[in-house]
């Protein structure tokens, strides 16, 4: 009796194919950093002015913060174009409020308006993480942080942008008094202390983040209005 050996051949496999996809995104990260520190009777907002695309600097003076009313300042980061468009929309709505009610819109109302505006664009959101800061109806400093969909939180201090991973821990320690033994975490900084913390935060950030630099715009909002100061930052 003859036994026939039947060998099974492995199925032929198609050669590995490398598929290349041309990925396109409507969003561009132009860098930059913004922060806010709220005090008992003031709030400070600071932003750098560098706008970049990768390793290319588009401009060294692109303001990321703007005065929306005599008691409120808006700061944006990440995508400069979306930040400017969002600012235009809020300015128009604030002006409509002023002409209709013959008074400036309050900080709390403007904060809610910003949240509603961001949420209305949730299907195609603005690529920004805004900070809205101002004086509330009680004369105290208030800062609001947002994500791109409009979720809002009232905070004492916050940092967003390309150097936020460097600045936020510094604020946690110097403003929130975290990891400081025996410190009173409920204490708020004075105006002079907040100014020095903001300057130190950006001075350190520009040494490590290439997307932050050139100039520092500092806004201080109090009962007398909005005061602006510009300082030099690292340019390389």
Is it the case that residue 221 has pLDDT exceeding 70?
yes
Nearest-angstrom CA–CA distance, 55 and 136: 40
Is it the case that residue 19 has pLDDT exceeding 60?
no
Q: What pLDDT score does 24 carry?
A: 77
105: phi then psi, degrees, rounded to nearest 5: -70, 140
231: phi then psi, degrees, rounded to nearest 5: -125, 160
Estimate the share of the chain in helix, then strand, then coil, as percent rounded to the nearest 5: 25, 30, 45
What is the arithmetic mean of pLDDT over 14-41?
81
Q: What pLDDT score does 8 carry?
A: 56
Each residue of 130-160: pLDDT tens digit?
999 999 999 999 999 999 999 999 999 999 9
Concatenating the DSSP letter of every residue in 51-110 gives: EEETTEEEES----EEEEETTEEEE--B-HHHHHHHHHHHHHHHHHHHHHHSSPPPHHHH
Is it the case that residue 27 has pLDDT exceeding 60?
yes
Residue 73: name the closest of 130, 148, 117, 129 by CA.
Answer: 130
| pTM of the full structure | 0.87
Average pLDDT value over all residues in the chain: 91
In the structure, how many helices (H) and strands (E) does the chain have? 4, 12
Question: What is the SS3 assignment for 36?
Answer: strand
Each residue of 47-83: pLDDT tens digit?
999 999 989 999 999 999 999 988 999 999 999 999 9
Q: What is the DSSP letter of 174?
A: H
Q: What pLDDT score does 198 carry?
A: 97
| Helical pair 107-120 and 80-101, crossing angle rounded to 10 deg | 130
Each residue of 81-95: pLDDT tens digit?
999 999 999 999 999
Each residue of 158-190: pLDDT tens digit?
999 999 999 999 999 999 999 888 888 788 999
What is the arithmetic mean of pLDDT over 196-213?
96
Q: What pLDDT score does 10 carry?
A: 55
Nearest-angstrom CA–CA distance, 101 and 36: 29
> Is the pLDDT higher at 83 or at 4?
83
State the number of CA atoms in the 13 A half-sphere of 179 facing the CB. 6
Is it the case that residue 18 has pLDDT exceeding 70?
no
Q: What pLDDT score does 183 carry?
A: 83
Name the band, by pLDDT with cuts 50, 70 and 90, for residue 13.
Answer: low
Q: What pLDDT score does 7 carry?
A: 53
Is it the case that residue 234 has pLDDT exceeding 80?
yes
Q: What pLDDT score does 17 carry?
A: 58
Residue 36: name the closest of 208, 217, 179, 209 by CA.
Answer: 217
Q: What is the DSSP letter of 199?
A: H
């Amino acid at each position: 009796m003859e036994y026939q050996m039947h060998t099974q051949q492995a199925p032929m496999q198609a050669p590995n194919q490398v598929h290349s996809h041309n990925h396109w995104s409507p969003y561009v990260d132009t860098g930059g950093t913004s922060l806010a520190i709220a005090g008992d009777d003031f709030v400070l907002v600071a932003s750098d002015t560098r706008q970049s695309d990768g390793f290319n600097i588009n401009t060294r003076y692109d303001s990321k913060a703007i005065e929306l009313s005599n008691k409120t300042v808006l700061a944006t980061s990440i995508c400069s174009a979306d930040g400017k468009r969002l600012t235009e929309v809020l300015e128009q709505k604030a002006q409509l409020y002023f002409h209709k009610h013959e008074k400036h819109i309050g900080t709390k109302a403007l904060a809610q308006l910003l949240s509603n505006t961001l949420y209305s664009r949730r299907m195609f959101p603005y690529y920004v993480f805004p900070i809205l800061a101002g004086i509330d109806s009680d004369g105290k400093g208030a800062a609001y942080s947002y994500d791109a969909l409009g979720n809002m939180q009232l905070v004492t201090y916050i940092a967003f942008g390309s150097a936020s991973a460097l600045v936020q821990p510094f604020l946690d320690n110097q403003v929130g008094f975290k990891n400081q033994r025996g410190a009173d975490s409920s204490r708020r900084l004075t105006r002079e202390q907040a100014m020095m913390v903001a300057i130190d935060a950006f001075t350190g950030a520009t040494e490590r983040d290439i997307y932050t630099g050139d100039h520092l715009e500092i806004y201080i909002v109090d009962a007398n209005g909005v005061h602006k100061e510009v300082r030099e930052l690292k340019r390389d």
